[in-house]
């Protein structure tokens, strides 16, 4: 049977990809951010996942406003990226895992999720940058991938509660997969940021830290926020916390925090990385902090 080994939530800011391309990881501006991934690399070296289920949001490379599914799952043998206009170089394609993809699709449809099935799929920086952060020596990539895309662009967006339920269904499907593979789930996006309008540059550190804490200790608490409340607290693009909520929900029991880093700013964005593993398989790790009342976190 498949083993769900853990979850990583990480930022996917395009500027990170540009810094990687220009080899700026040790520059003063970037070093605190990239140093936050050293512990993640050590954990991945021990874990050695076979496949990554990557939950992210497309920014117009594969889907656009004329046709934009709420939930889409890739079922291709490989996934290529293309020029998005950020000055990011295109890199080698990512190997897919069609067998696991179709298992997930069938399981999710059986749980009454309406899934767009993509047998061809381009992946943008929200997929590519996290893969570069986690495996900086790639390509070649040491894992197969299954992309799962959540709409955070065209309203109406799925709610946090709906995304949490999606994540739980993905977790059940992984647990029921009848293959001897080690599966890692990766959720990308966030944290708080707004790129335009009167609140451009908005960052809410208190809410970011609350999210990081509750993802570990009480993820369902985050599902009680409406999307309007999430935008108010985290900024327009901060709604990407939906991907982190879905990824965390794939671990169906209690978790232990393996590693956490938070850094501000990266390109006017609050950035973070959070690593969690199932409680029953984990040893002594970092402890999550206590929660914070909502009325104390409005930025």
Judged by DSSP in three states, 77 sits in coil
| Burial of 44 (C-beta count, 10 Å sphere; 0-12/13-18/19+) | buried
Q: Is 263 a catalytic residue?
A: no
DSSP letter assigned to residue 229 = H
Catalytic residue among 125, 164, 259, 263: 125
Task: Decide if 259 is catalytic.
Answer: no
Mind giving me the DSSP string for 169-189? Answer: HHHHHHHT--S--EEEEEEE-
Reply yes or no: is the peptide bond before residue 281 cis, omega within 30 of 0.
no
Q: Give the largest Cα separation in the chain, rounded.
A: 51
Q: DSSP character for 90? A: P
Q: For the chain, how far is it from start to end, CA to CA, in angstroms?
A: 45
* Residue 221 Cα to chain centre, angstroms: 19
Catalytic residue among 12, 59, 164, 193: 193
Q: How far is it, in rounded angstroms, from Cα 10 to Cα 274?
A: 7
List Cβ neighbours of 205 (8 Å cut-off, separation of 6 or more): 192, 262, 264, 270, 299
Return the active site residues.
Answer: 125, 193
């Amino acid at each position: 049977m498949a083993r769900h080994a853990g979850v990583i939530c990480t930022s996917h800011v395009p500027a990170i990809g540009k810094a990687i391309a220009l080899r700026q990881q040790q520059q003063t501006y970037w070093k605190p951010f990239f140093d936050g991934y050293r512990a993640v690399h050590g954990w991945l070296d021990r874990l050695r996942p076979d496949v990554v289920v990557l939950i992210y949001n497309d920014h117009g490379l594969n889907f656009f406003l004329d046709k934009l599914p709420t939930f889409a799952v890739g079922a291709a043998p490989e996934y290529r990226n293309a020029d998005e206009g950020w000055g990011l170089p295109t890199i080698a394609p990512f190997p897919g895992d069609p067998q696991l993809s179709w298992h997930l699709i069938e399981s999710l449809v059986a749980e009454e999720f309406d899934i767009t099935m993509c047998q061809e799929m381009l992946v943008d920086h929200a997929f590519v940058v996290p893969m570069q952060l986690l495996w900086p020596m790639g390509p070649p990539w040491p894992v197969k991938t299954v992309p799962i895309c959540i709409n955070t662009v065209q309203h109406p967006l799925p709610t946090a509660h709906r995304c949490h339920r999606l994540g739980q269904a993905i977790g059940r499907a992984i647990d029921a997969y009848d293959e001897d593979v080690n599966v890692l789930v990766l959720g990308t996006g966030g944290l708080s940021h707004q790129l335009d309008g009167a609140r451009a540059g908005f960052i809410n550190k208190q809410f970011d830290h609350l999210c990081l804490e509750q993802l570990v200790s009480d993820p369902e608490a985050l599902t009680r926020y409406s999307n309007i409340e999430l935008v108010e607290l985290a900024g327009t693009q901060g709604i990407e916390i939906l991907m982190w909520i879905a990824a965390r929900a794939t671990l169906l029991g209690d978790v232990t925090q393996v590693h956490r880093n938070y850094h501000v700013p990266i390109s006017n964005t609050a950035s973070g990385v959070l690593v969690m593993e199932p409680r029953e398989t984990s040893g002594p790790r970092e402890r999550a902090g206590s929660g914070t009342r909502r009325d104390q976190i409005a930025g």
